[in-house]
Structure 1
Amino acid sequence: MVSNSSRATPKILVDADSCPVKDIIIKAAGDTGTPVVLVASISHLISCDNEDVQVITVDNVPQAADMAVINHTDAGDIVVTGDYGLASLALARGAIPVSSRGFVFTSDNIDRLLLQRHIDVKIRRGGGRTKGPKALTEADRQSFERVLRKLVKQQARNNLDILQGDNPPEG
């Protein structure tokens, strides 16, 4: 059994290949001292001068970034992604996945989203067309920042409660 005192501080993991809100994540994390891990493929080479931000570069093969994100994900972490499959895996790990628009993926909505993705793929394979995502607006960016700061604060408070022993151990 792992002791409560060895539990790591929740971190923010980012599927960074196409993440349009990395700047918001880094600023919000810096304001709260939350560690950030940016994961991107070699074709989306990312550099960051912030020493509190870890950058992981993976091969340019399908799902490599997703697998690196999930392999570094612990319960209580925040995972920023627009990928429903990665969001589903993050939920299974006990993490909180959130989109760059501030939409929080939950066990109540992920099955419907995965089903819709499957239907859309079938339509496109059959020669049909489906709508893509709308352009990210300033309102979307503000919504994301609001949600992210709330989640970071909530996770930090949960971690502090565990470290102080306010939650009795299960079993």
Structure 2
Amino acid sequence: MKIWIDADACPRVIKEIVFRASERLELPVCLVANTSLAKHHSRLITSVVVADGFDAADDFIAQHATDQDVVITADIPLAARIVAKGATGLDPRGELYTEENVGERLSMRDLLQELRETGMIQGGPAQFGHTDRQRFASSLDSLLTRLIRGKR
């Protein structure tokens, strides 16, 4: 099992939570981005910088993640690809992507994007806060415990 992080837009605090879990459980983590990433001092943490380009990081993760892996991403199209592949997706706000909810979330994302483009609504998601961080840490802990015990 490996944890993949769609690192371009992932909050630093979420990465730190994942890094602590990685060390505690001896799980490898791979950060994927199209910009340079800070070096890490753990043998368990690697980074991949992909070429600039629309969805290049997403494509890399979707291509390399296996059905045993966990992918941390706020990108719903990537989450849909991951779930279709049998891997587990987790939003940085702690919501698990499943076969049951990812299609609905993708439809809602598309609708909101269309409404923003037409000027009917403005803005994006709420600011990332303390509650989001706590929800993510709890969800990640529960998810990893379940996966390590083999109860996918």
TM-score, length basis structure 1: 0.82
How far has the Cα of 1:35 moved from its partner?
0.9
Report the counterpart of residue 136 of structure 1 in structure 2. 128
Partner of 2:2: 11
Distance 2:118 2:9 in 1: 27
Bigger mean CA deviation after superposition, 118-127 or 75-84: 118-127
Instruction: Give the letter for the 2:24 counterpart.
Output: D
**Preserved contact between residue 34 and residue 152 of structure 1 (Cα < 8 Å):** no
Would you identify which runs of 4 or more consecutive aligned residues in structure 1 move more than 4 Å? none
Q: Residue 18 of structure 1 aligns to a residue in which SS? A: coil
SS in 2 for 1:158: coil
Corresponding position of 1:40? 33
Q: Which amino acid aligns with 1:17?
A: D
Q: Is the 8 A contact 2:37 2:47 kept in 1?
A: no
Note the C-alpha offset of 1:114: 0.9
The structure 2 residue matched to 1:146, chosen from 138, 143, 146, is 138
Q: Does 1:74 align with 2:66?
A: yes
User: 1:28-76 CA deviation, whole Å, 9 max, x = no partner?
Assistant: 111001111110112x533222111111111121100101111121012
- Percent identity at matched positions? 32
**When the two structures are aligned, how many residues end up with a matched partner?**
149
2:111 to 108, 111, 119: 119
The 1-side partners of 2:52 and 2:39 are apart by 17
User: SS of the residue aligned with 2:62?
Assistant: helix
Cα distance, 1:158 vs structure 2: 1.1
Task: Say whether 1:25 aligns with 2:3.
Answer: no
The residue type equivalent to 2:80 in the other structure is: S
Pairing 1:56–2:48 present: yes
Cα deviation per residue 1:53-101 (whole Å; 9 max; x = unaligned)?
1111111211001011111210121110001000000101111101111
| Secondary structure of 2:104's aligned partner | helix
Could you tell me how far apart the structure 1 residues matched to 2:116 and 2:93 are?
Answer: 25
Contact kept? 1:80, 1:97, Cα under 8 Å: yes
> Structure 1 residues 158, 62: closer, same or farther in 2, change over 3 A?
same
TM-score normalized by the length of structure 2: 0.91
Q: Report if the CA contact (8 A) 2:4-2:29 is conserved.
A: yes
CA RMSD between the two structures: 1.5
In structure 2, the residue matched to 1:169 is none
